[in-house]
Amino acid sequence: MRAHQDPDLLRAFAAEVRARRDAAHLSQEALAFQCGLNRTFIAKLELGQTSPSLTTLFRLAEGLEASPGELVDATALRLRKERAASRRRAA
């Protein structure tokens, strides 16, 4: 992972992709096939080890039957909730 990437953001995106993939009853392999991506890349996304390019974000959204904006908004919401929970735990 690059030093300038936000690990909390990567985890939030990973959780959103996994939740949507599970809700669609897709395996990592099936999602990868629908998106034209490699299964290991999907696995790395879901582990928060990598982040998608803009092109890949659009391909993922299409494979998950969502808009790119929906994925970004849902990820932002997850991130805010996680950071708020972290602050409460620290207090």
Residue 15: predicted pLDDT: 97
Q: What is the pLDDT of residue 86?
A: 85
Nearest partner of 71 among 19, 7, 5, judged by Cα: 19
Sorted by where each begins, the domain ranges of the chain are 7-90
What does the pLDDT read at residue 87?
Answer: 87
What CATH architecture does domain 7-90 belong to? Orthogonal Bundle (1.10)
pTM: 0.89
Question: For each of the chain's 91 residues, which pLDDT tens digit applies?
Answer: 456 889 999 999 999 999 999 999 999 999 999 999 999 999 999 999 999 999 999 999 999 999 999 999 999 999 999 999 888 888 8
| pLDDT score for 91 | 81
Which tokens hold the place of 32? 């990868």
